[in-house]
């Protein structure tokens, strides 16, 4: 504590920083451990006591590739990209309209959107399953894309609206005085200012779709298998393939790792549905 008195600010920063670093290290240890299991041979994996050192192996990777898991990765990527693109195309004008214009029953409409977002997926999967079975959307790419709209379109409108409201309305008013039409104002004034918000919200939508399990599991069937759905497949009748699970799990985690670093502040805003401006 003698040091603390001589340089209080510096050592306080050191103290709190080390507290945070230690906390983060403990919290993230399970992820590190799973990562190490990707290259851990089976006998070392099941060793008691825990074995820290081992000869790395690539057997889990080769199993995963031999069993076509890269196709699930591709499916996941395509599905998330397409559904997110659709959300951005139809959701952006709606978010703008909700932020800027007066409408009848706007509050009720908005609450309906929130309710779509909040609805438990388990409740939705029942009617989806039966309706999809009737109209032939079960086990199809299109069916899953539609199902993802429930949570992602509502999420997107809700959060992007909060970005829209941060824009100064004066610019649009000035453009209107110049005699620009509304589509022109949207394209040339609003859109450029909104671009960061759109990207941030869309990336979050992508991640939600990427992480989604229940819809893909129940509605995708054998035809459309995403990465999360492929994980329980590794619990086989001959036992659980832990190393392979670790490989698939870490693959599913990589885009998330990239996103948390790139988006940082926007994540808080997104996850709180715009209630907190990160």
Q: Is 128 in the site for other proteins (CB under 8 A)?
A: yes
For residue 4 the two structure tokens come to: 């603390």
Task: Pick the binder of other proteins from 73, 78, 149, 199 (CB under 8 A).
Answer: 149
Instruction: Please answer whether residues 141 and 226 qualify as being in contact, where contact means their C-beta atoms are separated by less than 8 angstroms.
Output: no
Of the candidate residues 129, 139, 141, 221, the single one contacting other proteins (CB under 8 A) = 129
Whole-number Å distance between alpha carbons of 254 and 88: 23
Question: Which one of 60-68, 77-85, 193-201, 250-258 is the stretch in contact with other proteins (CB under 8 A)?
Answer: 250-258
For the chain, report the end-to-end CA distance as a whole number of angstroms: 35
Rule CB under 8 A: which of 168-227 touch other proteins? 169, 172-173, 176, 182, 185, 207, 210-214, 218
Residue 272, C-beta contacts closer than 8 angstroms, at least 6 positions apart: none
Is 73 a binding residue for other proteins by CB under 8 A? The answer is no
Residue 235, strand partner residues: 240
How far, in Å, are 55, 167, 172 from residue 192 at the CA level?
A: 53, 11, 12
**For residues 188 and 222, is the Cβ–Cβ distance under 8 A?**
no
Least distance from other proteins to the Cβ atom of residue 194, Å: 14
Asked if 239 touches other proteins (CB under 8 A), the answer is no
Can you count the helices (H) and strands (E) in the chain?
15, 2
Instruction: Show contacts of 178-187: CB within 8 Å, 24+ apart.
Output: 186/93, 186/96
Looking at residue 181, the DSSP 8-state letter turns out to be: -
Read off φ and ψ for residue 98, nearest 5 degrees: -65, -30
Tokens of 200: 């941030």
Closest CA to 204 of 253, 144, 255, 248: 255
274 binds other proteins (CB under 8 A): yes
Q: Does 45 bind other proteins (CB under 8 A)?
A: yes
254 binds other proteins (CB under 8 A): no
Least separation in angstroms between residue 1's CB and other proteins is: 17
Question: Least distance to other proteins from the beta carbon of 53, Å?
Answer: 15
CB of 155 to other proteins, least distance (A): 11
The residue count for binding other proteins (CB under 8 A) is 109
Q: Which stretch binds other proteins (CB under 8 A): 60-68, 77-85, 125-133, 193-201?
A: 125-133
Nearest to 125 by CA among 218, 204, 209, 200: 218
Interface positions, 105-124, toward other proteins (CB under 8 A)? 109-116, 118-124
Is 58 a residue that touches other proteins (CB under 8 A)? no
Residue among 64, 80, 88, 146 that touches other proteins (CB under 8 A): 146
Least separation, in Å, of the C-beta of 98 and other proteins? 7
Please identify which residue in 65, 74, 90, 223 interacts with other proteins, judged by CB under 8 A. 90
Please state the closest distance from residue 124 (CB atom) to other proteins, in A: 5
In the set 97, 140, 221, 233, which binds other proteins (CB under 8 A)? Answer: 97
| Tokens, residue 122 | 């388990």
């Amino acid at each position: 504590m003698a040091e603390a008195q001589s340089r209080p600010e510096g050592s306080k920063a050191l103290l709190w920083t080390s507290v945070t670093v230690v906390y983060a290290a403990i919290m993230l240890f399970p992820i590190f451990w799973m990562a190490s299991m990707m290259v851990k041979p089976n006998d070392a994996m099941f060793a008691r006591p825990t074995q820290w050192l081992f000869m790395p192996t690539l057997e889990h990777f080769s199993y995963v590739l031999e069993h076509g898991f890269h196709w699930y990765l591709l499916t996941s990527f395509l599905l998330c990209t397409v559904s997110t693109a659709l959300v951005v195309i139809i959701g952006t004008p709606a978010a703008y309209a909700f932020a800027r214009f007066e409408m009848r029953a706007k509050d009720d409409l908005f609450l309906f959107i929130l309710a779509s977002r909040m609805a438990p997926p388990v409740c939705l999967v029942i009617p989806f399953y039966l309706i999809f079975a009737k109209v032939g959307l079960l086990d199809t790419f299109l069916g899953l894309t539609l199902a993802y709209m429930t949570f992602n379109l509502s999420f997107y409108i809700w959060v992007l609206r909060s970005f829209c409201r941060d824009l100064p309305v004066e610019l649009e008013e000035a453009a209107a005085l110049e005699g620009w039409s509304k589509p022109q104002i949207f394209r040339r004034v609003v859109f450029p200012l909104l671009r960061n918000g759109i990207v941030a919200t869309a990336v979050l939508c992508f991640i939600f779709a990427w992480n989604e399990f229940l819809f893909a599991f129940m509605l995708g069937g054998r035809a459309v298998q995403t990465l999360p759905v492929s994980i329980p497949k590794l619990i086989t009748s001959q036992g659980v393939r832990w190393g392979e699970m670790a490989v698939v799990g870490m693959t599913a985690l990589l885009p998330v790792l990239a996103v948390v670093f790139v988006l940082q502040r926007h994540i808080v805003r997104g996850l709180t549905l715009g209630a907190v401006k990160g």
